[in-house]
Chain A
Amino acid sequence: MQRPTNLINGIDWVTVGLYLTLVLAGWINIYAAVFDEQNASIFSISQRYGKQLLWIVTAVSLAVAVCLIDTRFFSSFAYPIYGIGILLLIAVLMIGKEVNHSKSWFEIGSLQIQPSEFVKIATGLALAKYLGNYSGKLMQTRNILILAAIIGSPLILILLQHDLGSGLVYLAFLIVLYREGLHQAVLLFGMLAVVLFVLSLLMQNVQVYLVGGLILSGFAAYQYKSKQTKLTLKGIGFFCAVFVILFFVNLLTGSRFDIHELLLGSAIPVFVFFVLFAAFRRLPYVRIIVLFIICALVFTFSVDFVFDNALDIHQQKRILVMLGKESDPKGIEYNVIQSKIAIGSGGFFGKGFLQGTQTKFNFVPEQSTDFIFCTVGEEWGFAGAFVIVTLFVTLLLRLIFLAERQRSVFGRVYAYSVVCILFVHFFINVSMTVDLMPVIGIPLPFFSYGGSSLWAFTILLFILLRLDASRYEYIR
């Protein structure tokens, strides 16, 4: 048996190199972020950088351990692992510890473990297992429901822990499904939903304009598909006539409605009339367009409800602050401003290692965990940030390459899961430090301080490398 030798030859050392580079770069930046002169030794175990070194050493051991496990274990035990993961999520809801509004931590002595970090791996495995068996029939209703259950169960449990950030990561699996044949319309609708969500929060009277806009685009789409120009013109004329009448009636009766309400009042009868007319005449394409408009309207009107009821106050606040609707200089916005100042003041080459003033005087809260990228931006400048972003993108592209060379659907789906989880973490984390996204507390993979996340990302990645190393073996 030459297995160890095969393993060493089979492991993708490019990925391992990228992994180690990122982990060490992270460690150096954690050192800078929590540096103080009293505890200047980078190995000081009382400080976060000393502890991170401990996490790194244990993570590397974990990586080696994962590589020594037989490949078949991952596919055979995908469902049991997933089951255990779900049980852990339920358990943490009951006996977990609340940190920063989120009840998502187990506390064992001084060790804190966040199970949702590990459940991502389990979900990836379960998804891979299921698609490995049923690939190609993705659009069947029954399969879609089961996939929704696999992804949705942990997602719902995590949202119940009030951990929006970790929940968002599960949207990554949509990209995996896209690769496996999900209709692209689903992705498009997903993105549209996000745009509508933001717009309806951002603007007042947005519903009015959305209704108007959607009805107009409905007409436009109908016009494009059916070429019924006369009918469309009639519709627009009808709309203008109703609006003018309403406008004057409102003026004479003492201006009780504002212009937005009048627009809405004119659009609705036109829309109703159009729908009835189209149904009567059995015009083509009208069904799908009407359905689309109604869905969009329902979604738009439900945004406020969802926003007010489904999100926690601090989450609402983060979104509002990000959208510029609420100013909160010493709260969340403070964090983002300080982060932007730290990064912005870095300039091209940065202020140099341990020279970041924002970093040094702890202007940025959470700097060694979620805001670690600030340190990169401030001390290493655009050059350093460029290197780190490039390293991440290179790693992701390398992993896509690995995914595509898998010979089993199981391997490929799992590989894409890894790609997408890492991508979402990376993109959301860096985006929030540069104010492209609201503050969502998720770590930067391999970089942020924390044993739980480093271990989880390491296991996630090395299961893929293990599968890749023996990709010529047959895997169900």
Chain B
Amino acid sequence: MNLDFRKYMIGAFIILSGLVLLGRLFFLQIIDDTYKASGDSNSQRWVRQYPARGQIFDRNGLPIVTNQAAYDLMIIPKDIQPFDTAELANILGISKDVIKTTLRRLTPKQKKSLLSYKPAIFLKQLSAETYAVLQEHLYKYKGFSVQARTLRNYVRPIAPHLLGYVAEVDSTEIKDPYYKIGDYIGKSGIEQFYEKALRGKMGLNIYQVDVRGQIKGSFLNGDLDTMAVVGSNLTLSIDAELQTYAEHLMGKMRGAAVAIEPATGEILMMVSVPNYDPALLVGRVRSDYLKLSHNLGKPLFDRSVMSAYPPGSTFKVAQGLAGLQHGTLTPHSTCGCTGGYTVGRFHMGCHAHASPLNLPQAIGNSCNSYFATAFRRILDNKPLSTRENYLQWREYILSLGFGEKLGIDLPQELSGKIPSAEDYDRKFFPTPESWRSLTLVSLAIGQGEIGNTVVQMANFAALIANGGYFYTPHLIKKIAGRDTVPPQYAEKRFTKVDTSHFEAVQEGMYYAVTGAGGTAKWVAIPEIEMCGKTGTAQNPHGINHSTFMAYAPRNYPKIAVAVYVENSGSGASWAAPIASLLIEKYLKGETARPWMENRLLSFNLYDNHAEAN
């Protein structure tokens, strides 16, 4: 049998198969239009389905932010036919001229241009009322249609800074292909930080349209369509009632207050005043934003996490811990104080109190001399150089949560300031290393080049309450659909100060509220053992900031608070009573000291300025 011809059969078969494939490819790629899905195609219309944004609740499930319906009036330029502009202007509540100029702006110069096939937003965010009226008349306006969107609805006018706001994407954000011009995005606060969870998933419907733009059905039976997925609801660790109360107390002040649950790091309350009603930043009228940004009180500035305040005397507690860890201080070290700290020509004043004092008493009485001595002992510890001792000290302070971002879930968080050795080298140029312990001695009492955010101070109080560790403060309690909060918020962070050293400072803070000569005795809460530390922070902007940090109850702490009231005076006068009332409110549900509330509510910033002058 001669089989030679079979090689031609096989070769022919292979060539034939190749031709079949090429034929199929030619059909798919050149002839058939079915599979050319494209947003630019004249035969398709891509309609995005906007999901509702996730809602935000407080720790007890009270709604803070929900959604309200809004309607965008859309046009497809090529479909527009002459209509009664006066009537439409009347319905929409805008002038005829606005309608004409908008139409002119949206209609491309070339009739054939692809742009004239694409839906464009004619007027944003109609209210439900306007929409109801418009809908009855919509049939008269060819080429107009309405697209439903959701806007933010603020159930309680609280916490604008931490919530942040939602607005249209700008050109830098549009690089993310998820967003198109006109889409909304979280711009700050929680809305920005949890944007991915809150926004849900955009859906897409692709319709087949004929030459007149009439929808003829789904493209490819809707196989490419995707459903919109509603955004995840967030439960915050915020206690809405406590937040409301704090904003009420501090209503006329400038400053910030933060409360943290020490056992979890959950932020219970976070106030920055002056603030604003978050509802102002929703909707068409963006002029409110301008008004707010020009306000002298800087209400848009989040003082709780952005402002680097001088810590003042509250920092003495950190100073004590650093000394104990460094070994240059023991809880029983005593130091005499003769109304101030004097070295040669240098003098740092101190108020009148008993002398000599040990560490807890020094904290309780807030003795300047004691901590100036303690701090200089650290820096002059031989045989190391001042610089080396400073670096060691800085390590301790950084580990206590100062000088670096804590990593809370707010995009605007700043780091505060604990200067590096190089900063001092530069400052004391041209003789680096010329700085000595006496040069830096104001750091001992929380003044000088250092600064901390209020949340750092609250975290410091929580850390002392816990006896030496903390959890990264955070606002998130639960993201719907996920079992756990992000793992970085469930991790215990220990400091470089041994836990055995904390008892002495705890005692000192208790002494400040209860002990003889304690600086905050008058704000002690009936039936609750509170530990606290006052601070009176000198600053270049006028009279002192009043600061106070505290936690309670002493033995099983449930809340740690830090309060700053700008330019108001001593720590004991304003910040301490605020903290005291907040703690009482949180632990008891109500306060029994209306006189104290009234005193705070009578606060007037300008009175204080007058005093200062």
Residues of A that sit less than 8 Å from B by CB:
175, 178-181, 329, 333-334, 337, 340-341, 343-348, 377, 381-382, 385-386, 389-390, 392-393, 396-397, 400, 403-404, 416, 419, 423, 427, 430-431, 434, 436
Contact code string B193-223 (vs A, CB < 8 Å = 1, else 0): 0000000000000000000000000001111
> Is A393 touching B37 in the complex (CB atoms < 8 A)?
no
> Is A427 touching B17 in the complex (CB atoms < 8 A)?
yes
In chain B, positions 1-55 with a C-beta closer than 8 Å to chain A are 1, 3, 6-7, 9-11, 13-15, 17-18, 20-22, 24-26, 28-30, 32, 34-38
Q: Are A434 and B24 CB-contacts (below 8 A) given A337-B223, A345-B35, A382-B29?
A: yes
> Is A397 touching B30 in the complex (CB atoms < 8 A)?
no
Chain A residues whose CB sits within 8 angstroms of the CB of B20 once the complex forms: 436
Chain A residues whose CB sits within 8 angstroms of the CB of B6 once the complex forms: 178-179
> Is B21 touching A346 in the complex (CB atoms < 8 A)?
no
> Is A344 touching B21 in the complex (CB atoms < 8 A)?
no
Residue of A nearest to B36 (CB): A345
CB-contact partner of B11 in A337, A389, A397, under 8 A: A397
Can you identify 19 A-B contacts, CB atoms within 8 angstroms? A179-B7, A179-B10, A329-B222, A334-B223, A340-B35, A343-B25, A343-B29, A344-B28, A345-B37, A347-B30, A382-B26, A382-B29, A393-B18, A396-B14, A400-B14, A419-B14, A423-B17, A431-B24, A434-B21
> Is A386 touching B35 in the complex (CB atoms < 8 A)?
no
Chain A residues whose CB sits within 8 angstroms of the CB of B7 once the complex forms: 179, 400, 403-404
Chain B residues whose CB sits within 8 angstroms of the CB of A180 once the complex forms: 3
Main secondary structure of the interface of B (DSSP, over half): helix
CB-contact partner of A345 in B14, B15, B24, B38, under 8 A: B38
Chain A residues whose CB sits within 8 angstroms of the CB of B29 once the complex forms: 343-344, 346-348, 377, 381-382, 385
Count of chain B residues with Cβ under 8 Å from any Cβ of A?
Answer: 32
> Is A430 touching B3 in the complex (CB atoms < 8 A)?
no
Minimum CB–CB distance from A414 to chain B (whole Å) comes to 15
In chain B, positions 460-505 with a C-beta closer than 8 Å to chain A are none
Main secondary structure of the interface of A (DSSP, over half): helix
Minimum CB–CB distance from B483 to chain A (whole Å) comes to 26
Question: In the docked arrangement, what's the CA distance between A179 and B7, Å?
Answer: 7
Minimum CB–CB distance from B488 to chain A (whole Å) comes to 22
Q: Are A400 and B24 CB-contacts (below 8 A) given A344-B29, A344-B34, A345-B35?
A: no
Question: In the docked arrangement, what's the CA distance between A348 and B223, Å?
Answer: 25
> Is A340 touching B28 in the complex (CB atoms < 8 A)?
yes
Given contacts A337-B223, A392-B18, A403-B7, 18 further A-B contacts (CB under 8 A): A175-B13, A179-B3, A179-B6, A337-B35, A343-B25, A344-B29, A345-B37, A377-B29, A382-B25, A386-B22, A400-B7, A400-B11, A400-B14, A416-B10, A419-B14, A434-B24, A436-B21, A436-B24
Minimum CB–CB distance from B303 to chain A (whole Å) comes to 37
Question: In the docked arrangement, what's the CA distance between A337 and B34, Å?
Answer: 11
Question: In the docked arrangement, what's the CA distance between A392 and B26, Å?
Answer: 17
Chain A residues whose CB sits within 8 angstroms of the CB of B17 once the complex forms: 423, 427
Minimum CB–CB distance from B28 to chain A (whole Å) comes to 5
Chain A residues whose CB sits within 8 angstroms of the CB of B221 once the complex forms: 329
Question: In the docked arrangement, what's the CA distance between A427 and B13, Å?
Answer: 11
Minimum CB–CB distance from A330 to chain B (whole Å) comes to 8
Minimum CB–CB distance from A409 to chain B (whole Å) comes to 11
> Is A344 touching B14 in the complex (CB atoms < 8 A)?
no
Q: Are A434 and B37 CB-contacts (below 8 A) given A389-B18, A392-B18, A396-B14?
A: no
> Is A431 touching B21 in the complex (CB atoms < 8 A)?
yes
Residue of B nearest to A396 (CB): B14
Contact code string B242-274 (vs A, CB < 8 Å = 1, else 0): 000000000000000000000000000000000
